């Protein structure tokens, strides 16, 4: 079957494209501004996206168009599809009908931590001798790909609460009908489609309704919003983490490695030695261990697997070092995620001998929620954790910010707002000093900002010294 995928550059639709190709379908697709890591993933899969949504793509005459949620009415290709009466389906619906049916789905939902927790869970299952399928909104470094069919009945999926398509406004995750569902946390996000946190809680309860009675919910016991979700009704067994009577951490140490005991009630199951810093990653690990246990993996084996977990691309990933400055690439784009990233990096930096090193945040308010200005004050509060702050906030163009970033961030004495990418990279490189740690945060390509900064730093360092041969 020939599938033509609209919005193929998105992490979900790009992963779907890889799964479709792996199951023998002919896959083409289109999008605008496809950037790493998905551009690299599609290339590896032998898929060359068409730039834009021209109506002439109707002439490709696929058996079905698979429509991503980035596509809206007025899109030239979509209008042509509707006028022609051609067959089309949403991405989540296609996935349910062609990949997930008949498999034991392990879904990881939550405002934050979905990608890391799903990657941890897939790695635990792999380390326990399975070959799970997965579709993850990032690239786990242990696998090198964001999606695979796998040879196991189990399939791990990052379960997103964002809407399915312009013709199906339910959250994507209601299509998955998991046997095991992780509910990591729940905060207000996606201000472009949700009026308030109660609206998101309703969607999470739709997910709860989709878990079979013989299934399992793995729920953050310290999250008040998730408690409210379960109070609406629950028909499955519930295991809680971040709960002193459920799965929780004890004897926590954060230094070069992040170490903690994994406990259920008063029983110690082992000690995790994790390469990822921060309380958020401790929660992610507990959720993954609990979910793996529900899937039949002994906790000790899961704990051992996490000791070798390499992490996920663009989750505080080191992009490089120049002029004695370490530059990281990070996906954080919600104030809570920004705070978690900066807290984790701060603990890592402060545990090293060069404790005077500074943390420099370079941020792009790119998500719809951030660009609309719905979380301006929480954003300011989260960025206080950095010693210096640089913000890319263009006032015109496709990524224009609808609020005055300079005015909002003025209470941060170290903040600098820039509207040009090259100027931003130059100013960051000029402001830092050897030993500093620069974390670049965006949920988009950000114009390759980490490498722009590294190039500027390399120029500042100058050419390497040449010996005199003596």
Q: Give the whole-angstrom CA distance, residue 58 versus residue 4.
A: 9
Q: Would residue 188 count as lying in a domain?
A: yes
pLDDT recorded at residue 331: 83
Q: Give the whole-angstrom CA distance, residue 345 versus residue 353.
A: 15
Q: Are residues 35 and 80 in the same domain?
A: yes
pLDDT recorded at residue 468: 45
The enclosing domain of 190 has a CATH number of 3.40.1190.10
Q: What is the pLDDT along the chain (470 residues), one digit of tens a residue?
A: 999 999 999 999 999 999 999 999 999 999 998 877 888 899 999 999 999 999 999 999 999 999 999 999 999 999 999 999 999 999 999 999 999 999 999 999 999 899 999 999 999 999 999 999 999 998 999 999 999 999 999 999 999 999 999 999 999 999 999 999 999 999 887 767 788 899 999 999 999 999 999 999 999 999 999 999 999 999 999 999 999 999 999 999 987 778 999 999 999 999 999 988 888 899 999 999 999 999 999 999 999 999 999 988 878 888 899 999 999 998 877 888 888 888 888 877 776 665 578 999 998 887 766 666 667 778 888 888 899 999 888 877 666 676 677 777 888 877 888 889 999 999 999 999 999 999 998 888 888 999 999 999 999 877 654 444 43
Q: Are residues 292 and 340 in the same domain?
A: no
What total number of domains does the chain contain? 3
Q: Are residues 130 and 55 in the same domain?
A: no
**The last residue of a domain, from among 255, 279, 306:** 306
Q: Are residues 89 and 105 in the same domain?
A: no
Q: Are residues 109 and 84 in the same domain?
A: no
Q: Would residue 467 count as lying in a domain?
A: no
Q: Are residues 198 and 267 in the same domain?
A: yes
Cβ contact 65:9 at 8 Å: no
Q: Are residues 219 and 119 in the same domain?
A: yes
Q: Are residues 11 and 106 in the same domain?
A: no
Query: What range does the domain containing 150 cover?
Result: 101-306
The enclosing domain of 321 has a CATH number of 3.90.190.20
Q: Are residues 337 and 445 in the same domain?
A: yes
Q: Is 46 exposed, middle or buried (0-12, 13-18, 19+ CB in 10 A)?
A: exposed
pLDDT recorded at residue 38: 86
Cβ contact 172:162 at 8 Å: yes
The enclosing domain of 85 has a CATH number of 3.40.50.720
pLDDT recorded at residue 192: 75
Q: Are residues 111 and 184 in the same domain?
A: yes
**The last residue of a domain, from among 49, 77, 93:** 93
Q: Would residue 394 count as lying in a domain?
A: yes
Q: Would residue 368 count as lying in a domain?
A: yes
Q: Would residue 232 count as lying in a domain?
A: yes
Q: Are residues 172 and 301 in the same domain?
A: yes
**The last residue of a domain, from among 93, 127, 148:** 93
Q: Would residue 311 count as lying in a domain?
A: no
Q: Would residue 469 count as lying in a domain?
A: no
pLDDT recorded at residue 355: 53
3-state per-residue secondary structure call for 17-60: HHHHHHCCCEEEEEECCCCCCHHHHHHHCCCCCEECCCHHHHHH
Q: Are residues 132 and 155 in the same domain?
A: yes
Q: Would residue 115 count as lying in a domain?
A: yes
């Amino acid at each position: 079957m020939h599938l033509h995928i609209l919005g193929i550059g998105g992490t979900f639709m790009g992963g779907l494209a890889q799964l479709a190709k792996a199951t023998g379908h002919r896959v083409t697709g289109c999008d605008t501004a496809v950037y790493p890591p998905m551009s690299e993933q599609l290339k590896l899969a032998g898929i060359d996206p068409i730039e834009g949504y021209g109506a002439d793509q109707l002439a490709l005459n696929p058996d079905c168009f698979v429509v991503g949620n980035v596509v809206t009415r007025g899109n030239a290709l979509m209008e042509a599809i509707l006028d022609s009466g051609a067959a089309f389906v949403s991405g989540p619906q296609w996935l349910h009908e062609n990949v997930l049916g008949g498999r034991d789905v392990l879904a990881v939902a939550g405002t934050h931590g979905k990608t890391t927790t799903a990657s941890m869970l897939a790695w635990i299952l792999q380390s326990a001798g399975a070959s799970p399928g997965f579709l993850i909104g990032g690239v786990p470094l242990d696998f090198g790909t964001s999606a695979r069919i796998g040879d196991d009945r189990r399939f791990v999926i990052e379960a997103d609460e964002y809407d399915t398509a312009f013709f199906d406004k339910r959250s994507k995750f209601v299509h998955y009908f998991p046997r095991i569902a992780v509910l990591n946390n729940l905060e207000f996000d996606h201000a472009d489609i949700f009026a308030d946190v109660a609206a998101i809680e309703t969607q999470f309860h739709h997910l709860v309704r989709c878990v079979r009675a013989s299934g399992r919910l793995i729920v953050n016991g310290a999250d008040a919003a998730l408690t409210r979700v379960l109070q609406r009704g629950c028909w499955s067994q519930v295991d809680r983490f971040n709960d002193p009577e459920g799965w929780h951490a004890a004897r926590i140490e954060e230094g070069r490695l992040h170490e903690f005991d994994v406990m259920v009630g008063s029983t110690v199951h082992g000690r995790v030695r994790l390469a990822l810093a921060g309380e958020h990653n401790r929660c992610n690990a507990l959720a993954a261990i609990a979910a793996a246990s529900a899937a039949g993996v002994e906790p000790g084996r899961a704990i051992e697997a996490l000791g070798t977990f390499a992490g996920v691309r663009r989750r505080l990933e080191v992009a490089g070092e120049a002029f004695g400055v370490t530059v990281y690439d990070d996906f954080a784009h919600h104030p809570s995620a920004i705070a978690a990233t900066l807290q984790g990096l701060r603990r890592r930096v402060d545990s090293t001998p060069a404790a005077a090193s500074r943390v420099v945040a370079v941020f792009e308010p790119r998500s719809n929620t951030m660009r609309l200005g719905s979380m301006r004050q929480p954003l300011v509060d989260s960025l206080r954790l950095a010693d210096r702050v640089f913000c890319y906030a263009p006032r015109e163009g496709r990524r224009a910010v609808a609020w005055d970033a300079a005015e909002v961030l003025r209470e941060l004495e170290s903040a600098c707002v820039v509207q040009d990418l090259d100027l931003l990279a130059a100013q960051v490189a000029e402001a830092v000093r050897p030993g500093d740690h620069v974390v670049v945060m965006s949920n988009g390509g950000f114009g390759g900002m980490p490498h722009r900064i590294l190039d500027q730093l390399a120029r500042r360092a100058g050419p390497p010294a040449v010996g005199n041969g003596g």
